[in-house]
Amino acid sequence: MTKLDSMHTLDKASKIKLYNAEAFEGMRIAGQLAAQALDMLAPHVVPGVKTSTIDDMVLEFALDHGAIPATLNYRGFTHSCCTSINHVVCHGIPGPKPLRNGDIVNIDVTLIKDGWHGDTSRMYAVGEISRRAERLIEVTYESLMRGIAVVKPGRTTGDIGAAIQTYAEGERCSVVQEFCGHGLGQNFHERPNILHYGEKGEGPVLKAGMIFTIEPMINLGRPQVKVLSDGWTAVTRDKQLSAQFEHSIGVTKDGCEIFTSSPMGYNKPPYETKDT
Ligand code: MF3
Ligand code: CO
Ligand code: CO
């Protein structure tokens, strides 16, 4: 048996990997590095900055820390992060257009460190944003945390989706259904899919050792999305605002460990980016 094989066993019922303590340590390191990259960006996400500049900073940070951005040359994606502005739901492509005062932007970074994938995203407020945008960001962060709060052995993936959907819709927001969270580890995307909607009790039963993301995309308006002709950029059909937060987590004996918590405490905006 190789060292790689010894990192996990397989849950027979669901064919989902159950990772060991060494794998959790690898995910902890990769997750913290990805979270640190998002922390590093906070003071740079200001009016006038190009998302391509942010992308360059993520690449430099990764290489400086012995990591590689997982999105770089992933299925034809050629950037080091995704930057999804305003009505862009996810998979926004960094480019030369400067951020503008009042924009909200999700930055999604996945770093591969020693073979392990740390995948996390946060919302950033560019300058002064509207109250509706602030509220959407708040609801979306809370949606993620409510999903995380149900994770423990014996619960199901559907329990996570139900918690998120019930909360978000109760706040008169809607849940995007076309994209989901995912298992990860030594692969970027693997079993299970984590839907951000659904019914309690649906889906595979969670067991200690499972590792996956939760990454709800929440809209102020209708849930429907479309993908632009670039093949990546997903936008809301009604052009209303969308937000997303993402953590990579591992199921433990009595709950879960969040691998991608912010070392600086920058888990949700506003981020303290200068001394006062
Ligand atoms: N990081 C995204 C996720 O949370 C995936 C981005 S794939 C890309 O799963 F190719 F669009 F970058
Ligand atoms: Co992800
Ligand atoms: Co991601």
CA distances from 247 to 33, 86, 138, 229 (A): 13, 20, 16, 29
Residue 61: which of 82, 42, 40 has the closest Cα? 40
Ligand 1 site residues, Cβ closer than 6 angstroms:
71, 74-75, 77, 82, 91, 108, 110, 119, 213, 215, 232, 246
pLDDT tops 70 at residue 276: no
How far, in whole angstroms, is CA 19 from its chain's centroid?
Answer: 20
Cis peptide before 192 (omega within 30 of 0): yes
Instruction: Kindly report the average pLDDT of the chain as a whole number.
Output: 97
Task: Give residue-wise pLDDT tens across range 99-117.
Answer: 999 999 999 999 999 999 9
- What integer is the mean pLDDT of 171-179? 99
Residue 272 is predicted with a pLDDT of 81
Task: Give residue-wise pLDDT tens across range 49-102.
Answer: 999 999 999 999 999 999 999 999 999 999 999 999 999 999 999 999 999 999
Residue 3 is predicted with a pLDDT of 56
The C-alpha atoms of residue 135 and residue 274 are separated, in whole angstroms, by 23
Of the listed ligands, the closest to the CA of 70 is 1
Task: Give residue-wise pLDDT tens across range 194-214.
Answer: 999 999 999 999 999 999 999
Q: What percent of the chain has pLDDT over 70?
A: 97
pLDDT tops 70 at residue 1: no
pLDDT tops 70 at residue 157: yes
Residue 9 is predicted with a pLDDT of 97
Quick one: residue 95, left, alpha or beta (phi over 0 = left, psi -120 to 50 = alpha)? beta
Choose which residue among 107, 117, 188, 196 to substitute to test ligand 1 binding: the one with the highest number of ligand atoms within 8 A of its C-beta: 188
Task: Give residue-wise pLDDT tens across range 12-36.
Answer: 999 999 999 999 999 999 999 999 9
CA distances from 32 to 176, 203, 244 (A): 27, 29, 19
Which atom of ligand 1 has the smallest separation from the CA of 70?
12
- What integer is the mean pLDDT of 133-160? 99
Task: Give residue-wise pLDDT tens across range 126-144.
Answer: 999 999 999 999 999 999 9
Is the distance from CB of 92 to CB of 121 less than 8 angstroms? no
Q: How far is the CA of 159 from the centre of ligand 1 (A)?
A: 24
| 82-85/8-10 β-pairing | unpaired
Residue 5 is predicted with a pLDDT of 62
Residue 206: which of 148, 144, 145 has the closest Cα? 148
Q: What percent of the chain has pLDDT over 90?
A: 96
pLDDT tier at 6 (50, 70, 90 boundaries)? Answer: confident
Q: How far is the CA of 1 from the centre of ligand 3 (A)?
A: 32
